[in-house]
Every structure is written in structure tokens, then in C-alpha cells.
Amino acid sequence: MKNSDVELEKVASLESASMPLVLQISDEGIIKVEKVANLKHEVWKLTKLRVRQLEEKNKGLQNHLIGLKFNMDD
């Protein structure tokens, strides 16, 4: 091999290493990813709703305890 051939191989390997890989995803793979993303979003929405419900219930219980304590002081 000539020096120029070795240099060209080095340049080619560096270029291929720095270029991002393009992945071919089948339609089936895309559908699976969409399903998982939709399920994660649904879980996130339901979790957020449940947390909000628990916070409201907690606030109601705190108010009830404050009322009980107030009545005990009288």
C-alpha cells in the first residue's frame, strides 16, 4: 500500500465514524413505538390526575383536622 492509500483509508474511517448512523425502521417498528409513546402519555395523564385528586383529598383532611382541633380547644 502506498502512503496516500493509507491516508485515504484513515480519512474515510474518520468520516464514517463522525457521521450519524441512519437507522431503517420498519412500519411495524414505528407502530410499536407509537403505541408505547401513547401508553406512556396516557399513564402520565392518569398519574397527574390521580396526584391532583390525592392533593385535594389531603387538603380536605387537613381542613377537617384543623376543624377538630379548633373544636377541641373550645
Which residues does 33 contact at the CB level (< 8 Å), separation at least 6?
A: 25
Identify the domain containing residue 39 by its residue range. Answer: 25-74
Rounded Cα–Cα distance for residues 2 and 5 (Å): 5
Is 7 inside a domain boundary?
Answer: no
Is 32 inside a domain boundary?
Answer: yes
Is 19 inside a domain boundary?
Answer: no
pLDDT at 58: 96
Q: What mean pLDDT do residues 1-25 have?
A: 61
Is 37 inside a domain boundary?
Answer: yes
Is 30 inside a domain boundary?
Answer: yes
C-alpha cell at position 46: 392518569
What is the count of structural domains for the chain? 1
pTM given for the model: 0.52
Higher pLDDT, 30 or 21: 30
Which residues does 25 contact at the CB level (< 8 Å), separation at least 6?
A: 33
Higher pLDDT, 19 or 9: 9
Is 5 inside a domain boundary?
Answer: no
Q: Is the pLDDT of residue 72 over 90?
A: no
